[in-house]
């Protein structure tokens, strides 16, 4: 049986190939990904069932969303980022209300979440995703086993994130179980940080309204600084980072009470 992590990586690669070519055949894709034609046929059918592709005789054709995603979000995440994303996605209970801010790491988490085979299909118990990232909402809204809530607000073209008073107002009406928090920098002294003040405000509101905060950051984000603080380090419950993280940077983070997961 194919492991969920393997399937998640393969689906991400399939979506990347679709965005580039627009059309894929079973035989060509099986050869490129090193998978059996039967596996690729099942993948194509699953992607079509979720509205991410249109099934054709012997292959698939991309839906509009595959073309519309901004270039920085189309590709497969690098290995370390993918490990972080898959681990964070596995920490989520399938019936939670989960918030995700924008960024390439949280986008990878969203895709790993959507690929989980244990998600409930009942409308009464479905996983609910709340996001201020237009690209995440555009991908997940097509998944029939997810409920997607996209916050309103002013869109930042560089990051596809929504911010401003409308986004804050929408958040004030929501209850969040967990926020998956992408960061530009993180340290014990500076807490979680990002580059833009307006995005920091919405991210901070997500943190305030969540019962649990899971920060996701590859090793290069540790010990760095950025312009705007999202929250202090003691507001974070779990930090998921990759095994290349500097141990000396992790000591004060752990001392602050953060549960560090190295993957």
pLDDT digits (tens, 9 = 90+) for 96-117: 999 999 999 999 999 999 888 8
108 shares a domain with 50: no
| Same domain assignment for residues 61 and 114 | no
Tell me, yes or no, whether 96 and 22 share the same domain: no
Number of H helices, E strands in the chain: 11, 15
| Same domain, residue pair 82 and 10 | no
Give the model confidence (pLDDT) of 84-96 as tens digits.
Answer: 999 999 999 998 9
Residue 198 domain boundaries: 72-262
**Per-residue confidence (pLDDT) for residue 15, from 0 to 100:** 77
Give the DSSP H or E segment for 29.
Answer: helix 26-33
With H, G, I as helix, E, B as strand and everything else as coil, classify residue 184.
coil
pLDDT at 127: 92
What is the spatial distance between Cα 133 and Cα 127, in angstroms, rounded to a whole number? 17
106 and 9 share a domain? no
Instruction: Pick the last residue of a domain from 67, 90, 107.
Output: 67
When pLDDT is averaged across residues 55-62 and rounded to a whole number, the result is: 86
Residue 73: band (very low, low, confident or very high) from pLDDT cuts 50, 70, 90: low
| Residue 63 to residue 25: CA distance in whole angstroms | 15
Sheet of 259-262: strand order equals: 146-150, 127-131, 97-100, 176-182, 210-216, 238-241, 259-262
Residue 181: pLDDT band (50, 70, 90) is very high
59 with 83, same domain: the answer is no
Domain count, the chain: 2
Same domain for 97 and 59, yes or no, is no
52 and 157 co-located in one domain? no
- The pLDDT of residue 57 is 87
Does position 126 have pLDDT exceeding 90, yes or no?
no
* Residue 4: per-residue pLDDT: 64
**Stretch 5-25: mean pLDDT:** 79
Distance CA 24, CA 15 (A): 10
Domain boundary among 39, 67, 95: 67
Which CATH number do you get for residue 246? 3.40.50.1360
pLDDT at residue 138, as a whole number: 87
Q: Mean pLDDT across the stretch 22-41? A: 91
What is the pTM (predicted TM-score) of this model?
0.78
Summarize pLDDT for 210-247 with one digit per residue, the tens. 999 999 999 999 999 999 999 999 999 999 999 999 99
- What's the CA gap between 253 and 59, in Å, rounded? 48
Q: Is the pLDDT of residue 71 over 60?
A: no
Per cent of the chain over pLDDT 70 is: 90
What is the per-residue pLDDT for 6?
A: 76
Per-residue pLDDT tens over the stretch 152-167: 999 887 778 999 999 9
Mean pLDDT of the chain: 88
Give yes or no: residues 45 and 159 share one domain. Answer: no
More confident residue, 37 or 4: 37
Separation between Cα atoms, residue 166 and residue 151, nearest integer Å: 8
Q: Are 256 and 233 in contact (CB under 8 A)?
A: yes
Q: Which of 47, 67, 87 finishes a domain?
A: 67
pLDDT tens by residue, 139-154: 888 777 889 999 999 9
Indicate whether 134 and 223 sit together in one domain: yes
Find the CATH number of the domain harbouring 30.
1.10.10.10
**Domain match, 106 and 223 both:** yes
Model confidence band, residue 23 (pLDDT cutoffs 50, 70, 90): confident
- 26 shares its domain with 99: no
Higher pLDDT: 62 or 224? It is: 224
Average pLDDT value for residue range 193-210: 95
């Amino acid at each position: 049986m194919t492991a969920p992590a393997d399937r998640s990586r393969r689906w991400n690669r399939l979506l990347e190939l679709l965005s580039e070519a627009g059309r894929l055949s079973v035989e060509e894709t099986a050869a490129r990904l090193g998978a059996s034609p039967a596996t690729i046929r099942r993948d194509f059918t699953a992607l079509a069932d979720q509205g991410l592709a249109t099934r054709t005789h012997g292959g698939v054709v991309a839906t509009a969303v595959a073309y519309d995603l901004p270039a920085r979000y189309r590709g497969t995440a690098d290995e370390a980022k993918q490990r972080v994303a898959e681990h964070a996605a596995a920490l989520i209970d399938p019936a939670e209300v989960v918030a995700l801010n924008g960024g390439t790491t949280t986008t990878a988490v969203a895709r790993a979440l959507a690929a989980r085979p244990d998600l409930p299909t009942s409308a009464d118990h479905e996983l609910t995703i709340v996001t201020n990232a237009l690209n995440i909402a555009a991908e997940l809204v097509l998944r029939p086993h997810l409920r997607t809530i996209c916050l309103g607000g002013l869109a930042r073209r560089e990051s596809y994130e929504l911010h401003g008073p409308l986004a804050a107002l929408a958040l004030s009406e929501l209850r969040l179980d967990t926020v998956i928090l992408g960061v530009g920098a993180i340290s014990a002294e500076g807490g979680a940080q990002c580059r833009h003040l307006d995005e920091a405000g919405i991210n901070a509101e997500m943190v305030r309204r969540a019962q649990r905060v899971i920060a996701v950051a590859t090793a290069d984000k540790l010990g760095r600084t950025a312009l705007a603080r999202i929250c202090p380090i003691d507001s974070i419950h779990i930090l998921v980072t990759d095994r290349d993280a500097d141990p000396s940077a992790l000591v004060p983070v752990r001392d602050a009470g953060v549960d560090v997961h190295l993957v």
